[in-house]
Structure 1
Amino acid sequence: MESRQLRYFTAIFEHGSLSAASANLNVATSALSHHLSNLEQQLGTQLFVRRPRGLAATAAGARLYDHARAIVRAIDTAEQDVRSESREISGEVSLGMAHSGFRAIGLPLIETMLRQYPKLKLSLSEGLSSATLSHLLASQIDLAVVYNPPTDRSLQLQPILEETMVCVGRKELIGDDDVPITFAELLELPMILLRQGLSARALMDDLNLLKKLETRALLNMDSVQAIESSLRAGLGCTIGTRLVMRDDLESGVLQARPIVNPKLTRTLFLCETADRQASFALEAVRTLILKLIREAVEGGRWPATLLD
C-alpha cells in the first residue's frame, strides 16, 4: 500500500462519496475510483458498498480506516517535523481533557499556546475520562489528561497528581460543611454517580468501595452537567472534588464534607499511545500541560497533591 492510496481512502471514507472526496482533495473522481479499485484488489476484499447516494464502508473498510487514519497522521507529523528547519514549533496536536483538568488549566493553556506557539494548531476537547481515553486508543487525539485509566500495554501512563474526594450536596441533605462523613454514612445517602464502567473509575482509586456505592446509588448518569443540576435541585448528593464544584461551593448553594474511614482519592494521568513517536509539537504541549498543572497546584487553584 502507498501513502497516497491511504490518504485517498480516508478521504472517501470520511466524505462518504467519491465526488465529495474529489472536491476535498482536488483530485479527479476517476482517479480516486481507480486507486480505490486497486486497493481493494491488492487487499483482496471489498472496502465499500456502492449505493445510489454514496458509499458505505464494509467491516473491512472500517477496520482499514482505523489503521489508515493513524498512518496518515503519522506521515503528516513526520513531514512537519523534518521541514521545520528553524525548529519553530508548528504542526497540529489534539488534546483531550477531563472536566477538572479543563476547569483548572484550560484557559491558561489556550492563552499560552496562542502567545508562545502561534504556528501550532491545538485541537482541544473536554469530556468524561472514559470517552477521552477511547479517543486516544482510536488515534483520534494525541494526548489525554484523564483519571484512573486502566492498565493497557498500548498506553504510556504518567501519574500527575492525586485529589481527595468529598461528599457534595445541599446542606439540608448532607449536613454541615466541613464536618467529616464516614464511608458507611455515605451509603445511607441518596447518591448520584457517573454511570458504571470506565467513567465511574474516574471517581476514585479504590474500585471495591466504588462498587459498594454503585449498588446503593439513586441515579447513575454519564453527564457532569446533569449531575450538577440535580445536586442544585436537592435531588441527591455525589462524590466529587472541590475544584469541579468550586463555583457552587463558594456561593453556598452546595456544601462539601470530607470523607473519612476511609479517605477516598483519585489519580490524574497524562496518557499517550506507547508506540507513537513524539513530535516537537507534541513534546511542547506535554511540557506545557505539566507546567500549568504544577503551577495550579502550587498556587492553590487546584486542591491536590503533586506526584513526582
Structure 2
Amino acid sequence: MDLRQLRYFVTIVEVGSFSKAAHRLRVAQPALSQHVRNMEQDLGVELLFRNPQGVRPTEAGETLVRHARLILGQMEVAREAVRGGMSEPSGEVRFGMPGTISQMLCVPLISEARRRYPKVKLRVAEAMSGFVLDWLREGKIDLGILYRTVNDRGLVARRVLTEDLCLIGSALTPSPDAPEAGPVPFSQVAELTLILPSPGHGLRELIEERALSEGVRLSTVIDIDTYGQIKLLVEGGLGYAILPEAAVKREVSEGRLRAWPVGVPVLTRDLHIVCPSDRPLSNAVRAIDALAHATLVRLVQEGAWGARLIAPEDDTDSAA
C-alpha cells in the first residue's frame, strides 16, 4: 500500500460510492476499483461491502480507514515540519458542528477562511452534537463544536461562550398551554410536549440533568434529530423546543415562533471548540481553529450572537 491508495480508500469510505469518489478525486472509477482490489489482495481481507446503493466498510475496512486518516494527517504535519512549519496553510480541514451553530457561524467562517487561506479547503458538516462527538473520536473530522465536556483522553476542548436557552413555541398556531410571559419555571416546561434531540445528544442530556436536579419528569417528548425539523414541528404547533434564542432569531422576527426565557436559575449551556489530542494538527487545522474562535468572539461582540464570552482564565473545561 502507498499514501495514494490510502487517500483513495478514505475518500471512497467517506462518500460511500466509487462513482462519487472518482468525481471528487478526478480519477477514473475502474482505476479506483482496481486500487481497492489490490489492497484487499495485499491484506488478505475484504475491505468494503458492495451493493447497488454504494459501499460501506467492513470491520477490517473501518480499522484501515482509522489508521489511514492518522497516517495521512501525520504525513501532512511531517511535510510542514520539513519546511520549517512556516508554510502557508493548505489542504483540507473537516469541521463538524450542530445546526444551531452552523446557521450562525458557517457563512462568516467560510467567507473569512477563503479570504485569508485560499489554499485551505474547508468542509463543514452539520449534525447533532452526539454525532459530531462520534466523528471526532473516529477521526472523520479535524475540528468540532460541542455543547458539553466529555471525558476523552483523545480530545481537548476550549470553552468559548455560554448562552441562555429559551422555550420555543409557535406564534402562528399558539397552544392553550402557552406561557403568558417568561421566565418560565422549568417545572412548567417539563409538563409541556417537548420536541428534543434523542438521548445521547448534548442538549437532551442537559435538559434531562436539569429535570433530575429539580425532581421533575419530562411529561411528553418527541425525538427528532435535525434542528430544521424541530423548528418546523414547533411552528406547526405540535410541541415546544428548548433552543438558544439565536437559533430562532429569524423565525421570531418573522412572527413564526415565540421565545420565553427558562429559569430561575436560567438554563444555560457552554460552547466548546474541540480537536483531537492524540494526533498532530496541520497548519491548516490550527489556522481554522484560531479563525473559528476569533469569528465566534466577533459575532458576540458585535451583538449578532446573544451569548456571553468566557474569559481565558475561566476556560478550564477540557475533553481530555
Tell me the TM-score normalised to structure 1 length. 0.82
Rg larger in structure: 1
Query: Is residue 208 from structure 1 mapped to residue 209 from structure 2 by the alignment?
Result: yes
* 1:2–1:213 Cα change, 3 Å: farther
* Deviation, structure 1 residue 81: 6.0
Q: Distance in 2 between matches of 1:169 and 1:27?
A: 50
On the 8 A contact 1:195/1:220 being kept in 2, the answer is yes
* Deviation, structure 1 residue 32: 6.7
Query: Is residue 115 from structure 1 mapped to residue 115 from structure 2 by the alignment?
Result: yes
Summarize deviations over 1:78-129 as a string: whole Å, max 9, x none.
3366458862221211111122222222111111111111111111112211
The structure with higher relative contact order (CA 8 Å, sep 6+) is: 2
* 1:84–1:110 Cα change, 3 Å: farther
Higher alpha-carbon deviation: 95-104 or 208-217: 208-217
Q: Distance in 2 between matches of 1:185 and 1:87?
A: 56
Structure 2 unaligned regions, length at least 5 = 312-320
Equivalences for 1:190-209 in 2 at 5 Å?
190-197=193-200, 199=201, 201-203=202-204, 205=206, 207-209=208-210
On the 8 A contact 2:136/2:144 being kept in 1, the answer is yes
On the 8 A contact 2:77/2:281 being kept in 1, the answer is no
* SS of residue matched to 1:260: coil
Task: Give identity over the alignment, percent.
Answer: 30
On the 8 A contact 2:235/2:257 being kept in 1, the answer is yes
Higher alpha-carbon deviation: 69-78 or 149-158: 69-78
- Structure-1 residue corresponding to 2:41: 37
Summarize deviations over 1:180-236 as a string: whole Å, max 9, x none.
211111122222211111x2x225746422567774234121121221111111111
CA RMSD between the two structures: 3.4
* Match for residue 303 of structure 2 among 275, 300, 304: 300
* SS of residue matched to 1:202: helix
On the 8 A contact 1:9/1:36 being kept in 2, the answer is no
Q: Distance in 2 between matches of 1:82 and 1:114?
A: 26
* 1:185–1:121 Cα change, 3 Å: same
Q: How many residues align?
A: 297
* Deviation, structure 1 residue 9: 5.9
Q: Distance in 2 between matches of 1:98 and 1:156?
A: 18
On the 8 A contact 1:165/1:241 being kept in 2, the answer is yes
Equivalences for 1:1-308 in 2 at 5 Å?
3=3, 6=6, 23=28, 29=34, 36-40=40-44, 46-48=45-47, 58-79=58-79, 82=82, 87-170=87-170, 172-173=174-175, 174-177=178-181, 179-197=182-200, 199=201, 201-203=202-204, 205=206, 207-210=208-211, 215-308=218-311
* 1:10–1:85 Cα change, 3 Å: closer
2:145 is matched by which residue type in structure 1?
V
* Deviation, structure 1 residue 77: 4.8
Structure 1 unaligned regions, length at least 5 = 41-45
* SS of residue matched to 1:181: coil
* 1:39–1:264 Cα change, 3 Å: same
- Structure-1 residue corresponding to 2:317: none
